[in-house]
Amino acid sequence: MVAGVALLPNWSAGAAVTDDPTVDTATKATFQKLADAVFTDRTQALVGGTSEGRKQRTSGFSGEVRLSGTQSRQEDSALSQLRGRKSRLAALGEQYSAGSTSVKLDATQVKGRRATVAVTETTSLTYKKVTGNEPPTTGFQAHHELTFQADRGGNWQLTRIKDTDEGYLAVNQVAKPEVAKVQVKADDSPPDAPRAATTRPAPAKPKTLTGTGYDYKAMVAYATKYWSKYNTEYPDFNGAGAGGDCTNFVSQSLKAGGWKHVPGYTNDFHKWFGTADIQSDSFVGVNEFSWFALSSQRVTSLANVYQADIGDVIQMDFNKDGSKDHTMIVTKRDAQGVPYVTYHSTNTYNRSVASLVASYPTAAFYAYRT
């Protein structure tokens, strides 16, 4: 994978911010190939077999485009953490037999000796048939920003990788430290959700899928349809400063299964509604959703995340500061009692709860029976 083309950085000031025409197609292609190698290495670190002995794709790059020394050490650390995650997953009864990653270059910005490349990663992992009840695959799309620095000889080094989705729960991403947040409560003291245990086996808690007035299969069908291709009838809250689309997506799925609007002021957590034009805080906010769902008695808390079934909701507080950070909907439950979740930010389909627990062993989990 050593690049064999002359790579031409743009030395002029004020370079175009998107797809600068002075950066030739071969250079852009090599940026894309190195990005593909980085994320493929991360995916393969989770796949069964001896990934430690597998040749890393990034090691094939030298000269014109390569990892910087610092970034190389960071990638080694990331791969080590992912192999540890693979071992924890195996202990929980989950393994992957194959993985596939592709990277699409979305935009290139060049200014002086610095290039910024925006890419979209699409990854699929095949579940190894450990119990025989696993879904075929899990997959996600993630967006990243790569920074390259060039020397005067025209050699580019990848110096930084930034995940640009609001969430960072992709299967092959490494957890990052969270900055503590202050939880703001309304005057009428919204309800606190009890934490859910993550131990197995979980106490039996069967769910009645009929006669409740809700169509749980419709919830799953909606989440399956729109996990990567967003429904244009609703706003998309991904992007800088938007806060993430995870709760908005889960609310849409619940609405598709029969949850009805409760109109009112947007900031009243007792209200819940969402359209193309206006959404309540409880429709799109992680904590506000929990407050509405519990106070309206549309949900009850589950004692253990492994009790969750299709159409149920799971939330996470990454750093246990009391403010929840992420919302997901259960789209499958296998015969061994493992729920699988689908979510936005980062767009992910049928990821097992075991994978979440192994990836975030210090996070707090909350589970809701809908």
CA dist., res. 190 & res. 288, Å (int): 9
Q: Is the per-residue pLDDT at 234 higher than 80? A: yes
Report which DSSP code applies to 57: G
Instruction: State the pLDDT at residue 188.
Output: 63
Residue 132: half-sphere exposure toward Cβ, Cα within 13 Å? 0
pTM of the model: 0.74
Instruction: State the pLDDT at residue 114.
Output: 86
Q: What's the mean per-residue pLDDT of the chain? A: 86
Residue 203: half-sphere exposure toward Cβ, Cα within 13 Å? 5
Q: What angle do CA 30, 33, 38 make, to 5 degrees?
A: 130
286-323 pLDDT tens trace = 999 999 999 999 999 999 999 999 999 999 999 998 89
String of b and e for 13-45 (b: at least 16 CB within 10 Å)? Answer: eebeeeebeebeeebbebbbbbbbbbbbbbbbb
334-361 pLDDT tens trace = 999 999 999 998 899 999 999 999 999 9
Instruction: State the pLDDT at residue 153.
Output: 73
Instruction: State the pLDDT at residue 184.
Output: 43
Instruction: State the pLDDT at residue 72.
Output: 86
267-279 pLDDT tens trace = 899 999 999 999 9
Amino acid 327 reads: T
CA dist., res. 317 & res. 324, Å (int): 4
